[in-house]
Amino acid sequence: MPRVKVQRKSTSIDMTAMCDVAFLLLTFFILTAKPRTEDPVPVDIPASTTVQPIPDDNMLMLTVGQGKVFFSVDGNDIRKTLLVQMGDKYGIKFTPQQQEKFAGLPIFGVPISKLGGFLDLDAEGRKAFQQEGIPHDTTDNNELSDWIREARRVDVSLHGLALRISIKGDNKEEYPTIKKLIGVLQKQKINKFALITTIKSDPKK
Amino acid sequence: MAELDTSGGGKHKGGKVRSKKASTRVDLTAMVDLAFLLITFFMLTTTLSKPKAMDLTMPDKDEKTKDQLPMAASRSMTLLLGANNKVEWFIGEPGKTQPTTEGYGKDGLRKTLIEKGKEIQQSTGKFMFVLIKPSDKSNYKNIVDTIDEMNITGVQSYAIVDILPAELELLKRDGNY
């Protein structure tokens, strides 16, 4: 009678499928990852039950924190043209290097007179630089208003789109600052804009 | 599976000598380890909850608009946003009805809005109109909370307008300014 042999099985598992899955997920996460722009001031945004996500492009965002206003607009081409136009308006010449740097600058909050010096700094220096916010007062000709107006013009001329404007404010920001900002927007006949919020966990009725 | 028999010759029937083939199988364990490490890294660095945009339309400030209709005082509710996360509300014109002080949230403002909205709907047959008047002592969160309550309770029309001096007096009197 032949002996029944117990077949020995290999203990190694086939890793191919697991590897496939892992790399698929990895690719997904790499492609969806968006570099987070760091705010120059800490901004704790309020929560709401709104579920509408912010659009990915064609956005002008005004960040408000500690009474200062910071300006950011999407699109490198828009930023570059915007700087040239603002330079013309205020009679400031920006060098091509400064223009390149500005095109890659996601957010800033310095008066235009100090913008040249700010752009000459390297990344580390810019981080340490105490940005004082873009001047905005209630008069008709304030810098913030000019930035917004020129940005809208540039967007229309380059892409033929109307720029979407949103305000990102800190929870503790006092109303007068927001009121001034809304006043600036309303002077330009911008009556519709968005407030950036995070999602509230429990929207019970 | 694509595994080749590498157990070494010897048991082959016929006793033919075959050249020993090297396995084409690569150990993928290390690669999987690396991949999962990177996945973990990217998962933790990406922001999972994207911020949301709450649309806000302000009333037109242009005085030239002609199609402005007077609003019945009986169906307008005024919210005065004061200091210390307190809100005062009254229906009708300031001074004629006494304001009530309340907090934000589920048991405060939301309850009132739903109740009053129903009452006004029943008595006038039309929807309620809410005027939001933030004072200088209120903060940005209060405004967002208020607008959020509007969206939750389904108030059809609301507007953010400037506060009147008489209404500021009310807030001061009640210690909310």
Cβ(A155)–Cβ(A58) below 8 Å: yes
Q: What is the mean pLDDT of chain B?
A: 77
Q: Taking the CA of residue A12 as centre, how many other CA atoms within 13 Å lie in the half-sphere pointing to its CB?
A: 11
Cβ(A121)–Cβ(A106) below 8 Å: no
Q: Which backbone phi and psi does A143 adopt, to 5 degrees?
A: -65, -40
- CA dist A143 and A63 (Å) reads 15
Residues of B in contact with A199 (CB under 8 A): 49, 52
Burial of A21 (0-12, 13-18, 19+ CB in 10 A): middle
User: Sign of the C-alpha dihedral, residues A18, A22, A25, A27?
Assistant: negative
> What confidence tens digit (pLDDT) does each residue in B66-90 have?
555 666 777 788 888 888 888 888 8
Interface residue A58 vs chain B (CB under 8 A)? no
Strands lying side by side in the sheet with B86-91: B100-103, B86-91, B76-81, B129-134, B157-160
Q: Which residues contact B156 (CB under 8 A, 6 or more apart)?
A: B127, B128
Q: For residues B135, B81, A60 and A142, what is the CA-based torsion angle, rounded to 10 degrees?
A: 0
If you measure CA to CA, which chain B residue comes closest to A31?
B42
Residues of B in contact with A174 (CB under 8 A): 136-140
Residue A138 Ramachandran class (φ > 0 left, ψ -120 to 50 alpha, else beta): alpha
> What confidence tens digit (pLDDT) does each residue in A93-142 have?
888 888 888 888 888 888 888 888 888 888 788 888 888 888 877 665 68
* pTM for the structure as a whole: 0.72
Q: Which backbone phi and psi does A89 adopt, to 5 degrees?
A: -65, -40
Q: Is the ipTM of this complex over 0.90?
A: no
Q: Do A173 and B139 touch (CB under 8 A)?
A: yes
CA A132-A135-A138 angle, to 5 degrees, is 145
Burial of A23 (0-12, 13-18, 19+ CB in 10 A): middle
Q: Do B52 and A171 touch (CB under 8 A)?
A: no
Q: Which residues contact A182 (CB under 8 A, 6 or more apart)?
A: A167, B58, B160
- CA dist A130 and A132 (Å) reads 6
Kindly indicate the confidence band of residue B48, based on its pLDDT and cuts at 50, 70 and 90.
low
Kindly indicate the confidence band of residue A204, based on its pLDDT and cuts at 50, 70 and 90.
very low
Query: Which tokens in the block code for residue B59?
Result: 């009333």
Kindly indicate the confidence band of residue A24, based on its pLDDT and cuts at 50, 70 and 90.
very high
Residues of B in contact with A23 (CB under 8 A): 35
Q: Which residues contact A189 (CB under 8 A, 6 or more apart)?
A: B62
- CA dist A139 and A158 (Å) reads 29
Q: How many CB atoms lie within 10 A of CB A83?
A: 24
